[in-house]
Amino acid sequence: MKAPDLSGAPNLEKMILGGGTKLKHIHLSIGDLTKLIQLDLSDCTSLKGLPITLFGISSLQYGNLTRGDVHNGFADHLFAAFHRNGTIAFRDDKSLKQGQHIYTELMETIESSKVLIVIFSNNYATSSWCLQELAKMLECRTKVAAPNLLPICYDVSPFEVRRQKGVYEMAFAKHEERLKHDLEMVQQ
């Protein structure tokens, strides 16, 4: 199953395709939706990839993609789509060389990026590295030439992320316990 040509609906603000388990392809015309704010593709388990035109929508504020492993599925498709389009993309889990000053390189890469994509997953908040990267991304948004920040929820409810409930609540409780002597880090 394919999503239809969307070029005739340029004023569409919300696109809810969640539960479309037979949906395999999104039409390239999704890039014509200049007013799209919300895209929900939750439970679209047959989706083969995302068209690169999706990442040109500057109005997009929220994406929800659920089910599957982030690094062996969605993130791979996203990274491959950028590569096919000739876009230089940085991915912290594969782009770093051993022996480099990882933290410094990560922060410099975040600071120099024009677009930042955060893929919130079930395990995202359990990683103090991911949370430090997110804090840096949010810090960069306060600057004059702030990068676009696109949050994507993958296999986790946006409610859990926003309100720090469920797996996010448990992960933050563990971080607070582990870092109880470093209040600055906890606040970050």
Residues catalogued as catalytic: 133
Kind of pairing, strands 115-120 and 38-40? unpaired
